Structure 1
């Protein structure tokens, strides 16, 4: 009986202690905020800007969208500053969860200068951490999913390297009010096994800048990400199929010049297949005015396939062209048609001779193009 009584008494004392602690924190906050002006920055009385230390933890890095020229990041944006107006007598830090209470405390109006779309994670609650120590040091951490613009240079696509940046600044407070700087130790934190679809992260660099605008000079931070495109996908999905399509178009050189259905089917089918594949590639890229490496490759493949189709047209015309002047025929080599001298004479032997030349000319030309194409576009590509 007595043990049960003491157990209930201890439980009541524990609950009362917790309630007293919560009440004490709220009382301290309410007392501090009575004379607190949320419109004044922390160092306004000293007539100096407030230093905001920023660290970014890149939780995930989305793939670059070449068509829209943007990329997405899931980032923990951590901001540190000192507000001496919030010094208190508590021997522990205060974590403020109440959104209404957070609105009563001054916070920097930090934003991404090159943002297209952004949102704060709200599952299962808003991913916001607001912590105040008894010395007035504040940690304001927000988990943001942001889609940022990135100007891509695609002349060497898909063997390109890109530099995308995230640009942080204050929207309304000039450098006389807010001064941003990166934390000295690990300003940009990355997971050990960070993966980016179709890209390798070569490195990054963080810098501080002064951004002059018509409304004033604003302190800003910038981080540049150096990215290299992984070309394994494009080799398998673009280069290998186009090589096979071009090679199939050469099969017509081994068919009889008068085999019209077979040679036409091969030429038209390969040309349409290549056109469809080129259309799929164009949908993945923005309509830029300059020529890309993939355009040069697909264009050359189309020339080879279309050239094979034109070669058949010439061969078929020669094979069915009648020779009316027999004396002229005697002067031309390989003019006679064959065994039956009574049948009309045509240039079929010349047509077959042209086929034999094309069997070596077309593959040789395509091979020469490869010897020029690959060294040119891979010369500046970082293979490490």
Structure 2
């Protein structure tokens, strides 16, 4: 293994050497700006698929790309680096870096994807910015109010919270611009529109430990009345109308009245 003095003398023209130099004295157990200002983590989500709402279990399932970006001064590329301003790094290096302890507060079940390998993308920028993108499938709770069913509108949340770091150490913020990208999503019973997406702050206080950063996105889902008009209302109305026909049949024609009764 090369010493710090040996690595310092190696020309900064090799990506491998650069990564070795960055990690030589790097401690992933310590957050960036330790004992200093909180780390701001910009969050961005791309929704690949949005599962239908389940009335029985009151939840929904999404497949997403979760992207997090923060600055780690320890990963700033050396001044003598003459390569690209962005390094695309193998996902195995992800385990060697400090990372935010994000979890989904209203999650019921979740899993990573690893076919054909771990679905993790890692970028390191010249100024020390780190961008991580990972593919997840998540089942999230969504309490439903079915009072106006089937002409109801539901609001389902997705909450992203820090598990261990308080707001003194870590803050989640939505990426500026278009933090949640939702394109060409079709649901069998609901309409969901990009312009109906709302963003908010849901920072929480836990007695004994303090305040924990939390951001949320709220999806507004409007039930498709046409789905029920054709599948429920129209057939029911037809059955009722047919049952009334028996009143116009001669009372003595019992054989004809029974099938319509």
* The two structures share one fold, judged by TM-score above 0.5: yes
d(CA) in 2 for partners of 1:21 and 1:158?
68
Determine the structure 1 residue equivalent to 2:19: 29
Pick from 165, 171, 190 the counterpart of residue 163 of structure 2: 171
Determine the structure 1 residue equivalent to 2:42: 53
d(CA) in 1 for partners of 2:18 and 2:177?
33
- Deviations along 1:130-150, whole A, 9 cap, x unmatched? 111222110011122212111
Q: Which of the two has greater helix per residue?
A: 1
Pick from 174, 181, 194 the counterpart of residue 185 of structure 2: 194
CA RMSD across the alignment? 2.3
Q: Larger C-alpha radius of gyration, 1 or 2?
A: 1
d(CA) in 1 for partners of 2:73 and 2:35?
11
Determine the structure 1 residue equivalent to 2:101: 109
d(CA) in 1 for partners of 2:117 and 2:201?
33
Mapping 1:278-289, distance limit 5 Å: none
TM-score, length-normalised on structure 2? 0.85
Determine the structure 1 residue equivalent to 2:7: none
- Deviations along 1:93-136, whole A, 9 cap, x unmatched? 2222142x321100111111111222223233222111112221
TM-score, length-normalised on structure 1? 0.59
Determine the structure 2 residue equivalent to 1:79: 68
Structure 1: stretches of 5+ with no match in the other structure: 1-19, 268-384
Q: Answer 1 or 2: higher relative contact order, Cα 8 Å, separation at least 6.
A: 2
Contact persistence 1:248–1:266 (CA under 8 A): yes
**Is 2:171 the counterpart of 1:182?**
no
Pick from 175, 190, 197 the counterpart of residue 204 of structure 1: 197
Determine the structure 2 residue equivalent to 1:235: 229
Determine the structure 2 residue equivalent to 1:224: 218
SS of match in other structure, 1:38 = coil
Report deviation, 1:186: 1.5
Q: Which of the two has greater strand per residue?
A: 2
Pick from 238, 242, 245 the counterpart of residue 244 of structure 1: 238
Pick from 136, 152, 155 the counterpart of residue 147 of structure 2: 155
